[in-house]
Structure 1
Amino acid sequence: MSPTATPRPAPAAKHPVDQTLPFGKLLGAGLQHVAAMYAGVVAPPLVVGIGVGLSTAEIAFLMSASLFTAGIATLLQTIGFWKVGARLPFVNGVSFAGVAPMLAIAKAEGPDDALPVIYGAVIVAGVFGFLLAPWFCKLIRFFPPVVTGTVITLIGLSLLPVAFNWSQGGNPQAADYGDIKYIGLAAVTLLITVVLRRVLRGFLKQISILLGLVAGTLIALPLGLADFSAVADADVIGFPAPFHFGAPQFAVAAIISMIIVMIVSMTESTADVIALGQIVDKPADEKTLAAALRADGLGTALSPLFNGFAASAFAQNVGLVAITKLRSRYVVAASGGILILLGLCPFLASVVSLVPQPVLGGVGLALFGTVAASGIQTLAQAGLQRGDNVLIVAISLGIGLIPMAAPNFYHAFPESMRIILDSGISTGCVVAVLLNLAFNHIGRGSQSDTADTATTEHDTTPEMEPTPAAHGH
């Protein structure tokens, strides 16, 4: 170096979201994400396959295809390219919001044309979502802490019934649904997970959820609560051949219903992106949100090519990120790679399916409860000393919890409206945004409201400044 040369500045440290981990840790942490979301990915194709009247082998093929396409959608979201992908630790999978409309399409079209019509509608809905993303993302300015905290809390609370259902066996029609053996296995799994989280250190502590799942499954084996039939019948290698069920068909009514589903999914994804951005301490802006929604749209449009369905963010994995503190997007990218391998190897997919649903229910209670707790932490920043903001939270949570507390509440409404109303996250989100507009935007220039609204949008008062703990760290 010459005497006059100036030293180069040290490179800026990478944000934890963009840091990589050693291969072994990536694999272990990625498996943990797969275990947490596996049941959510295979459930929609299982329900749709039964509704369409597919054989057991065809349903297994449909489930493998959904794993494969979920892996592709996850890589689009975590790694991304161009303006596609939030580049956050986001798992994408099959959206359950589309199940009811797809069953309605199957009933209307008949078993022979059901899947081709469904796939045609999903392709159009995905393209629609991709094109709409740059405009839809502008909604982010209507998501101050009073709205985001409410929606994040609602996401966690709305997911808890899923954990309760798993803990009871997962099949409400079964004669032994809710048997003490199922609930006991869920409770033991949760206890083991908590103990492991408390006593382990380092990376083992971060994968305590995965270790809890393994321990719960080992306990279930001698009790006869693990089903080996899927492993015995699974092929070692299988590829989801493009358009296996026929070329896509495009029916107007089906397309409209799936576009509505896409809008609902985009609303939920908006809330999920904002929630995850806060948890990983990398708040989502319009650019990030638009990229995330493009990934949802592109993933949805590509999925039918390989016999998959609409793709959207999985909220349960947001809770896993909050618990483990593993914020690297490459961990979730690894889970995307694992999902692709599972889709190409039905035998491996069946091994993962050995995890009994009560075991998933035990850890799900912790995962989903953590999401709700993150929302409460955000609400602590939302200026709840104002009565108006308390009212926004109260009404939004109340309306958002209707589908969970009273599942048949909207039974007399038209099917097209129920697609939206039966999604408590979406209805609660819309209500929170509208109430925030009414109380904190419209007419906010009046003198009576100016003082009250000053801190609502930006939380700039010293005592309300966010802390690392408030973002789940």
Structure 2
Amino acid sequence: MSQAVQSGKHPVDTPMPPGPSLLYGLQHVLSMYAGVVAVPLIIGGALKLEPGDQFYLVSAALFMAGVATLIQTIGFWKIGARQPIVQGTSFVAVSSMLAIAAKDQGHAGLQTIYGGLIVAGVLGFLIAPVFTQLLRFFPEVVTGTVITMIGLSLIPVGVGWAAGGVGTDDFGQPKNYALAFITLLIVVLIYRFLPGFFGRIAIILGLVLGTLVAIPMGMTDFSSIGSAKAFQVPTPFHFGAPQFEVSAIVSLSICMLVIMVEATADILALGEVTEKPADRRTVTNGLRADTGSTALAAVFNGFSLSAFAQNVGLVAITGIRSRFVVAYGGAILIVLGLLPKAGAIVAAVPMPVLGGAGLVLFGTVAASGIRTLKEVDFSGNANIVIVATSLAFGLLPIVQDGAYEHFPSWFRTIFDSGITSAAICAILMNILFNILGRKDDDEGPVFSHSPAMGAISDEDEERLYRPMRISADPLAKDNGVNG
């Protein structure tokens, strides 16, 4: 720290030697790798893509996560928060993409998804400068409900994996559930008895060890790895030109708003962790990187991108605050994305193994939403009604298959997604109860002084609107990087 002070640079802006940077960057990659590859595997399976196409999706997701991380950490012009932020594939839009996949299979579904993501990303990029002024529409009661719904809506996907994969000949066989349970148990035991670094990579360790258990059970097939290319650069619109369907655009744009709320919370939290508080300009630049990278990812066959909260925690635990260390992690992700055989190895993980780890992963997402809701004041009726109604509305298409089968196609694409249904309901009800219908402070949205990850507190809002001054303290200088 003293060296950083003498050089006039904050630790966030101070490079480290290549050796330690590479090691710490790899640690960031290991802690978020499973989350990045899970989304392309989910979407690829739902679209019933050929193994080669699934390998390509995994490689593209890794590649674009690396590119987005470099944009966010290094930055250019007014794009990038220039913080140690790792960008990865967001789970927020998965439910909406699954709804699209249910209507359009194969490459046609991907084309519709990518068309929606391009528009959603561009829209988010354009509104980033004014987005922080709209945060009153996204208090914890809204974000907590939406995050909880994300986890709940993905759990059925994990159950389908644990059963062997919907549509497979051995779907629901006891051996599939047994392998899934063994994998889940491995993950839980790692969390319990191997804290610290191993606990942070419990998911990927569970995938590896679960696959090793599956080998003597005769439940693995690595034959497709040999057919994967050793090196491949992602090309624009590999699966065909994007299709711009209004229903998909609306659904994914709503998801983008939720992603922007989560990203705002992560940027503010990281500002506190690194002792370099983020002002509104930093948040705006960070959101531009998030949304712009999402639009770019759709061009290069990736999916929506956002800051990974677990890596914020990793910065806090290790105390390594240099954004250049995370940039090394971005470079590692790019290299992995250029090696399709790595994607083939991941895609060869047995479906029950993926299901066992996925149940923990998806359940953790739901638990994060509950943690955010813990900060909401439920002393009045308003917030209880908002959460209860929104969750019920979001669960409707999940617990009752074909609930909207007699509705127009545009309606089904939007509301067949539990996350989108819950988000629309929560936003509208929050406006009704807490903004238009607010009568006193007790019934309004309450911001805790110690927010859970993904929540915006009173102190955060004050910081965003605080006049930006250039301090004489070298650690507080903007150094001109934030435009």
Q: Same fold, TM exceeding 0.5? A: yes
Range with greater deviation from structure 2 (380-389 or 144-153): 144-153
Tell me, in whole angstroms, the C-alpha distance in 1 between the residues paired with 2:269 and 2:172. 34
Q: Give the drift of 1:179.
A: 1.7
Tell me, in whole angstroms, the C-alpha distance in 2 between the residues paired with 1:114 and 1:149. 30
Aligned length in residues: 437
Say which of 424, 427, 452 aligns to 2:442. 452
CA contact (8 A) 2:35 2:88 kept: no
Compared with structure 1, are the counterparts of its residues 284 and 46 closer, same or farther at alpha carbon in structure 2 (3 Å cutoff)? farther
> Which letter maps to 1:311?
S
Tell me, in whole angstroms, the C-alpha distance in 1 between the residues paired with 2:299 and 2:78. 22
Residue of structure 1 in register with 2:152 after alignment: 157
Residue of structure 2 in register with 1:92 after alignment: 89
1:426-460 deviation line (CA, Å, top 9, x unaligned): 2212222222222222243xxxx325236x4334x
Tell me, in whole angstroms, the C-alpha distance in 2 between the residues paired with 1:133 and 1:469. 20
Alignment of 1:268 onto 2:252: no
Q: Give the drift of 1:271.
A: 4.6
Q: RMSD of aligned C-alpha atoms? A: 4.2
Residue of structure 1 in register with 2:209 after alignment: 215
Compared with structure 1, are the counterparts of its residues 83 and 58 closer, same or farther at alpha carbon in structure 2 (3 Å cutoff)? same
Tell me, in whole angstroms, the C-alpha distance in 1 between the residues paired with 2:228 and 2:420. 38
Alignment of 1:439 onto 2:438: no
Q: Give the drift of 1:219.
A: 0.8
Alignment of 1:405 onto 2:389: no
Tell me, in whole angstroms, the C-alpha distance in 1 between the residues paired with 2:21 and 2:158. 32
SS in 2 for 1:91: strand
Compared with structure 1, are the counterparts of its residues 404 and 178 closer, same or farther at alpha carbon in structure 2 (3 Å cutoff)? same
1:395-449 deviation line (CA, Å, top 9, x unaligned): 11111222322232122222222222122222212222222222222243xxxx3
Tell me, in whole angstroms, the C-alpha distance in 2 between the residues paired with 1:58 and 1:370. 29
Q: Within 5 Å, which residues of 2 pair with 1:55-454?
A: 60-61=55-56, 64-77=59-72, 80-85=75-80, 87=83, 88-92=85-89, 96=94, 97-98=96-97, 101=100, 123=118, 126-169=121-164, 171-242=165-236, 248=241, 254=244, 256-273=246-263, 276=266, 290-303=284-297, 305-306=299-300, 308-313=301-306, 318=309, 336-444=330-438, 449-453=439-443
1:32-59 deviation line (CA, Å, top 9, x unaligned): 4222331312443565584xxxx76566
> Which letter maps to 1:466?
S
Range with greater deviation from structure 2 (221-230 or 272-281): 272-281
Residue of structure 2 in register with 1:38 after alignment: 37
Q: Give the drift of 1:151.
A: 2.1
Compared with structure 1, are the counterparts of its residues 279 and 151 closer, same or farther at alpha carbon in structure 2 (3 Å cutoff)? farther
Residue of structure 1 in register with 2:474 after alignment: none
Residue of structure 2 in register with 1:26 after alignment: 25
Compared with structure 1, are the counterparts of its residues 22 and 202 closer, same or farther at alpha carbon in structure 2 (3 Å cutoff)? farther
Tell me, in whole angstroms, the C-alpha distance in 2 between the residues paired with 1:137 and 1:470. 14
Compared with structure 1, are the counterparts of its residues 278 and 226 closer, same or farther at alpha carbon in structure 2 (3 Å cutoff)? farther
CA contact (8 A) 1:270 1:289 kept: no
Compared with structure 1, are the counterparts of its residues 35 and 152 closer, same or farther at alpha carbon in structure 2 (3 Å cutoff)? closer
1:234-266 deviation line (CA, Å, top 9, x unaligned): 1211222445567x58x7xx2645532441331
CA contact (8 A) 1:377 1:470 kept: no
Q: Give the drift of 1:172.
A: 0.9
SS in 2 for 1:213: helix
Tell me, in whole angstroms, the C-alpha distance in 2 between the residues paired with 1:423 and 1:319. 25
CA contact (8 A) 1:70 1:311 kept: no
Tell me, in whole angstroms, the C-alpha distance in 2 between the residues paired with 1:194 and 1:403. 30
* Runs of at least 5 residues in structure 2 that lack an aligned partner in the other structure: 456-483
Compared with structure 1, are the counterparts of its residues 120 and 422 closer, same or farther at alpha carbon in structure 2 (3 Å cutoff)? closer
Q: Give the drift of 1:200.
A: 2.2
Tell me, in whole angstroms, the C-alpha distance in 2 between the residues paired with 1:81 and 1:440. 39
Tell me, in whole angstroms, the C-alpha distance in 2 between the residues paired with 1:76 and 1:420. 31
Residue of structure 2 in register with 1:3 after alignment: none
SS in 2 for 1:401: helix
Q: Give the drift of 1:135.
A: 3.8
Q: Give the drift of 1:291.
A: 4.0
Q: Give the drift of 1:199.
A: 2.1
Tell me, in whole angstroms, the C-alpha distance in 2 between the residues paired with 1:302 and 1:150. 29
Compared with structure 1, are the counterparts of its residues 76 and 260 closer, same or farther at alpha carbon in structure 2 (3 Å cutoff)? farther
Q: What's the TM-score once normalised by structure 1's chain length?
A: 0.76
Tell me, in whole angstroms, the C-alpha distance in 2 between the residues paired with 1:438 and 1:430. 12
Residue of structure 1 in register with 2:464 after alignment: none
Q: Give the drift of 1:174.
A: 0.9
Residue of structure 2 in register with 1:462 after alignment: none
Tell me, in whole angstroms, the C-alpha distance in 2 between the residues paired with 1:9 and 1:331. 20
